[in-house]
Structure 1
Amino acid sequence: MAFTFAATKREEQGTGASRRLRRAGSIPGIIYGGNQPVINVTFDHNELFHLLRNEKFHSSVVTADVEGSKEAVILRATQWHPFKQQVLHLDFQRVAADQKLHTKVPLHFVNAEVSPGVKLDGGIVSHVLTELDISCLPANLPEFIEVDLKDLASGHSVHVSQLKLPAGVEVVHHGEGDPVVATILQVRGGGEAEATPAA
């Protein structure tokens, strides 16, 4: 799915100007990177609010139509109102087809219900990570990375090194070791609780 949205250049800056824009149904934001100057822009709140509700929008190269000039960008930061369903500010970074980008993509967990740890032992899946830092060219950017739990036994874990990454995608790992992605926790009770009186 390709996402395209409109952006308008803005001259006014500062808290007062941003407040006026938000009252008028617009979102202030910036587009930066790509060896080009930062441009201050505004977006239509309703249009971007609905796009932000789509998970794919957060991990896709999207197109900002800045007054007729198309910019390939990726969402970098979203500022929300503390308690209203209102977007306060958006940051987008330009991307170039021949330059690797570093971003986060969501993890999608599948087959938990048929894994031995859940189906046979009644365990509970604990999602330690829900997204992954990756590096790749824009053309190779996946919408998500699948984590298959079908062979996972109770008390065992899936690690980052065990994930099947799409072609051209590398994990950006900070620190040492091999981080846990998900684990199946053993649920105490059941057989143990019944065995105690008998003993």
Structure 2
Amino acid sequence: MSAVKQLKASARERVGKGAARAVRREGRVPAVIYGLGEAPQPIALDFNETKRLIFSGGFLTTLFEIDVDGSKTRAIPRDFQLDPVKDTPLHVDFLRVTRDATVNVEVPVHFLNQEASPGLKRGGTLNVVRHTVELVVPVDAIPDAIDIDLTGREIGDSIHISAVKLPAGASPVIQDRDFTIATLVAPSKLAAEAAEEAAAGEAEEK
């Protein structure tokens, strides 16, 4: 679980594209805090700090306490935009949250102990179906990642959400099916040989 991170910001009086461009020229990133039935609050963030937070990983699963000119608000990032050419932050959206709130978040999946998987040792491939899983979690217990242990996994195994140990209080948003997160598939050469053997066996039976 990530600790609550402190983030400094300043209020913005003007909004709109022109105002946002002016903020960027000053070396800051325009952002907005919305939610809980309150009016959206335009703010500006430090450019370098925002870039570091976004690219250090886990930004969208981090709970922030945003200090806007001395007034503090708890919020989580809901979206951010990057410059398509420079890959630098252009804008960030934050959602206000209460201390006892639950939120939907996309949590990355990490696969552990790949060297302990017999299937991978034999040349199998880990076919990742979902790189993230959307969870409903308490806002103060958002996990950094979901860890899946591949120890003992063989070629042909499928890893479903029901086999994954989730953090306390967390549940998948999708409840109507036991969806697949990853499978261990045979290498193409072995798969082709198996198909040829199966076809030969069928021909002999005929």
Q: Considering the TM-score relative to the shorter chain, is it more than 0.5?
A: yes
**Aligned residue for 2:203?**
none
How far residue 3 of structure 1 moved from its aligned partner, in angstroms, is 2.0
> CA separation in 2, counterparts of 1:73 and 1:146?
25
Change (3 A) 1:170 1:190: closer
How far 1:14 sits from its partner (Å)? 1.4
SS of aligned partner of 2:14: coil
Quote the Cα distance in structure 1 between the aligned partners of 2:189 and 2:145. Answer: 36
**In 2, Cα distance between the equivalents of 1:134 and 1:189?**
37
Residue 173 of structure 1: how far off its partner (Å): 0.6
Deviation at 1:42, TM superposition (A): 0.9
CA shift, 1:79, in A, is 0.4
Q: Number of aligned pairs?
A: 194
1:171 paired with 2:155, answer no
Q: Give the direction of change, closer, same or farther, for the CA distance of 1:10–1:113 in structure 2 (3 Å limit).
A: same
Shift of 1:139: 2.3
Poorly superposed stretches of 4+, deviation over 4 Å: 190-193
Once the two structures are superposed, the pairs formed by residues 34-183 of structure 1 within 5 Å of their partners are 34-119=36-121, 121-173=122-174, 176-183=176-183
What TM-score results when the alignment is normalised by the length of structure 2? Answer: 0.86
Listed as ranges, the gaps of 5+ residues in structure 1 are: none
Per-residue CA distance 1:89-118 (angstroms, 9 max, x = gap): 100011111221111111111012211211
The code of the aligned residue for 1:187 comes to P
- Runs of at least 5 residues in structure 2 that lack an aligned partner in the other structure: 198-206
The answer to whether the 8 A contact 1:3-1:57 is kept is no
Work out the CA distance in 2 between the residues paired with 1:138 and 1:188. 43
Q: Distance in 2 between matches of 1:27 and 1:13?
A: 13
CA distance in 1, matches of 2:190, 2:40: 61
Letter of the 1:37 counterpart? A
One-letter identity of the residue aligned with 2:155: S
Q: Percentage identity across aligned positions?
A: 35
CA contact (8 A) 1:79 1:87 kept: yes
Match of 2:201 in 1: none
Q: Is the 8 A contact 1:9 1:42 kept in 2?
A: yes
Q: CA deviation at 1:60?
A: 1.8
The answer (yes or no) to whether the contact 1:112–1:125 under 8 Å persists in 2 is no
Cα displacement (A) at 1:190: 6.4
* Cα separation, partners in 2 of 1:164 and 1:67, compared to 1, 3 Å: same
The answer (yes or no) to whether the contact 1:3–1:62 under 8 Å persists in 2 is yes
Distance 2:139 2:15 in 1: 31
Contact kept in structure 1, 2:105 and 2:134, CA below 8 Å:
yes
1:184 is aligned with what amino acid? Answer: L
Question: What whole-Å deviation, never above 9, does each CA across 1:4-42 have from its counterpart, x for those lacking one?
Answer: 111111111111111111122111111011232210111
Distance (Å, rounded) in 1 between the aligned partners of 2:58 and 2:66: 16
TM-score (normalizing by structure 1): 0.89
Note the alpha carbon deviations across 1:147-182, whole angstroms, 9 max, x for none. Answer: 1111321022101111101111111017x4322111
2:184 is matched with which residue?
Answer: 184
How many angstroms does 1:189 deviate by? Answer: 2.6
